[in-house]
Amino acid sequence: MDKVNALNDLRAGIDEIDRKMLRLFAARMDKVSAIAEYKRAHERDVLDKAREDRVLAQTEIIADQDLRRYAADFMRTLMDLSKKYQREYLARKQKQPIEISRNGEQDRKKDGVYSDVQVYNDGHVSARVSESGVTVGIQGIPGSYSEEALRDYFGENVNRKSYGNFADVFEALQAGEIEYGILPLENSSTGGVAEVYDLLCLYGFHIVGEKCVHVNHNLLAPVGAKIEDIREVYSHPQALLQCSNYLKKHPEWTYISCSNTAVSAKLVRDSGLFQRAAIGSLRAAELYGLDILERGISNKNDNYTRFIIIGNSLVLKPNNNKLSLALTLPHEPGSLYRTLSHFAENNLNMLKIESRPIREKNWEYLFYIDFEGNLLDQKVAKAVESIRANSSFFRLLGNYRADPVTS
């Protein structure tokens, strides 16, 4: 009984210390919010490494070296909480939170699409993805895989515009020449298309849909040409990579890059030279009157390219199930860990994370994240808001319906 009383007395002493610590913690966080306001007014970064080092040096007052290590860990945790609190405070002051209005939902719903949504600082935007009568831009010409993605996603009853490169599609959307653009974002064999990732953040458009296209590469040549005639092979760099195993069997060939697989097919057709071949689709062979010298020359039979549909507005639908984010993180220990923890805490399934170097800043990176969810779900909206609050830069790229790959 005496032992139990002794334990209870010790715990009572700890409880009293904890109460004092909590009161001190609240007082400390009041000072932290004042510091956050000062940093906002004077455009100072949340992280102050020199200040953190000085705070950790204060643990020297603890004589017990083993205990001093724990004290340093305690202070690091406390400073991590302070930085998180500052960022969330600044986010509330500087940015509008994600708010998905449900009032008048039936009135705003038209053709299965919400035409009135709230997104960050963009206010209310009109967002309607129509399946007919719109003008859609692609990089490339008829016979390209981009055109195939357009046909699969929008159908035949759309106005099409072709552009020479990816940036031209973004420029056309910005200028109002087109309502949507279709661009390749990643391939199952060769990975992401770096230029498109960079352009997404540069222009700030939203992903409103995606289409996965089965890429079936073939060797195409002028009518009458034979394999032994070929000396030059033209195609997009990604297509050349995706057919590298086949091309290695012909070391005598020279590879020449083109802006698009269909462009390479047209070039070979226009030249009429038997020494030239192109890597492209069966549709390109049909459109440009080329013979198919070899079928299915991709490294993988299940070779897919994921195309994204971009538009000016964030489109929210009840059946959207995929989100894409772009963000940078504070250059400090644990920042990526803290960001990823929001997915686990909210039971959200991450589909992909990819990093891209920031051109203006050596050894700093922009992260692209895809995960399952719908912003109409408040749990998802809360998680996204938490991620945004802890990011140095944040952009919600889109919330859309995933296109499953069926073998």
Please identify which residue in the block is written with the tokens 């062979």. Answer: 285
Same domain, 279 and 323: no
CATH number at residue 237: 3.40.190.10
Same domain, 199 and 291: yes
Whether 389 maps to a domain, the answer reads yes
CATH number at residue 341: 3.30.70.260
Same domain, 287 and 347: no
Same domain, 287 and 159: yes
Give the separation between CA 220 and CA 278, rounded to whole angstroms.
5
Same domain, 71 and 151: no
Reply yes or no on whether the pLDDT at 114 is more than 60: no
Give the separation between CA 271 and CA 284, rounded to whole angstroms.
16
Q: Rounded to two decimals, what is the model's pTM?
A: 0.71
Model confidence at 94, pLDDT cuts 50, 70, 90, reads low
Residue positions annotated with a catalytic role: 305, 307
Supply the range of the domain harboring residue 399: 318-407
Same domain, 157 and 10: no
Same domain, 182 and 291: yes
Model confidence at 290, pLDDT cuts 50, 70, 90, reads very high
Same domain, 231 and 290: yes
Reported as a single tens digit per residue, the pLDDT across 16-70 is 999 999 999 999 989 988 998 888 888 787 778 788 889 888 988 888 888 988 9
Q: Which residues are within 8 A (CB) of 112 and not within 5 positions of it... i.e. 6 or more apart?
A: 317, 319
Whether 205 maps to a domain, the answer reads yes
Same domain, 302 and 359: no
CATH number at residue 20: 1.20.59.10
Mean of pLDDT values over 254-265: 95
Residue 206's closest CA among 315, 290, 300? 315
Cβ atoms 148, 184 nearer than 8 A: no
For a pLDDT cut of 70, what percent of the chain falls above it? 89
- Residue after which a domain boundary falls, among 294, 312, 330: 312
Mean of pLDDT values over 203-214: 94
Model confidence at 226, pLDDT cuts 50, 70, 90, reads very high
How many separate domains does the chain show?
Answer: 3
For a pLDDT cut of 90, what percent of the chain falls above it? 54
Same domain, 407 and 267: no
